[in-house]
Structure formats: C-alpha cells, structure tokens
Amino acid sequence: MFTQFSTWDIVRNLLEGGKWTLALTLIAFVLGGIAGLLVLFARIAGSRLLQTASKAYIEVFQGTPLLMQLFIVFFGLSLAGVDVSPWVAAAIGLTLFTSAYLAEIWRGCVESVSKGQWEASASLAMRYTEQMRYVILPQALRIAIPPTVGFSVQVVKGTAVASIIGFAELTKTGSMLANATFQPFMVFGFVALGYFFLCYPLSLYAKHLERKFHVAR
C-alpha cells in the first residue's frame, strides 16, 4: 500500500539522517586527528623506519578511493570473522582516511616553519622534543588551523560514501525517501541543501581564519 509523505515528513526524516552525518563527521575528525598526529610524529621522526611506514600509510589512503577503503573495512573484517555494523565500519574507514590527509596537511605546516627557528632553538641547547613543543609546533598550529578547518568540509562530504555499505546518514536516508515517495528531484534537492548548510559555514570559517592568520603573520 502506498504511503503518502508530506513535505514535513521528508524534511523530518532527512534531519534525522543529517544528525547521523554530523555525528559520523565529528567522530571521524576527532579520532582521525588523534591518529593523524601520531602519523605526523612518525613522519617527521629521525627514524627512517618510522618515516617509511608513515609515508606508506599516507600514500595508501590518499592513493585509493574512500569507497574501496570502506568496502575493505566492512567486508574484509566480516570475512575475517569480525562482525561489524555499518556504523562502526564507516567510523573506522573515515577515521583512517581523515588521519592520512590531516597528517600530510600538518607535515606541510611543520615544514613551513622557517629553518631559522630550528637553528635559534638549537642554539639554546634545546633537545628535539623541546624544539617541537615550545618553538615549532606552536607556530605550525597557527598555520594549520585554516587548512584543517577547510578539510573538515571534505570529511562532511565523504560521509555520503558510507551510504553504500548501508549506513543511514543523509544520502542513504534521501535514497530511501526517493524510492518511497517517487519524488527524487525534491528529495535530493533537500539532501543537497542539507550538505550545503553543513559545509558552507565551514568554508566561510576557513576563509576567515586564513585571512586572519595571514594578516597576523
């Protein structure tokens, strides 16, 4: 029996899906940031083994599609005997994806700190860890904030891929509603607006921070 959906029913269900999109974004960004920081330290460490391993990690996740990564996590873990829900698989996949990009963004920010800062801190007899903690990282942090906020837009849009493995975020909810209402143009129009309202403020904030820190420097 055909169920009639009002416009409010469609919007209400999409808002529910948008809530899960936002939750997945926050989890992926927070956990990806923590993992990305560890990869960054390995990437700039003095150990050649750590540098090689972290570089390989970054190249794998940057050089392969996010969709394939989600498939490997979701179906690969299941084949290995580990039963994971679409929610957990999406969180793991997006966390790994995010960590690789954030590590590379932050590495560029650390390397953009002038060589003179390293030399000046070394002349004060600072150890490497002290140089990083008190001199390099505070300066790199100011440089890293705008591109980090800007990358969060890509994480929001990347959550749409999680619909392929059955996670009911904004895109998956829109797809189910389009099939139920036979109004794909209206439904996906609302979906597009949902992503716009999530991403546009982040884009504006990233531009604001970029101008602010550029002037400060």
Total tally of structural domains belonging to the chain: 1
Residue 1 lies in a domain: no
Residue 88 lies in a domain: yes
Residue 91 lies in a domain: yes
Residue 78 lies in a domain: yes
What the block records as the tokens of 2 is 């055909």
Cβ(37)–Cβ(106) under 8 Å? yes
Residue 187 lies in a domain: yes
Residue 2 lies in a domain: no
Beta-strand runs (E) in the chain: none
CA nearest neighbour of 160 among 31, 75, 67: 67
From first to last of the 217 residues of the chain, give the pLDDT tens digit.
445 788 899 999 999 999 999 999 999 999 999 999 999 999 988 789 999 999 999 999 999 999 999 999 999 988 888 888 999 999 999 999 999 999 999 999 888 888 888 778 888 878 877 888 888 888 888 888 889 998 999 999 999 999 999 898 999 999 999 998 889 999 999 999 999 999 999 889 888 887 877 644 5
Residue 15 lies in a domain: yes
Q: Cα–Cα distance between 182 and 187 in angstroms, integer? A: 9
Residue 97 lies in a domain: yes
- Boundaries of domain holding 135: 7-216
Cβ(57)–Cβ(39) under 8 Å? yes
The CATH number of the domain holding residue 148 is 1.10.3720.10
What the block records as the tokens of 33 is 């940031």
Cβ(27)–Cβ(152) under 8 Å? no
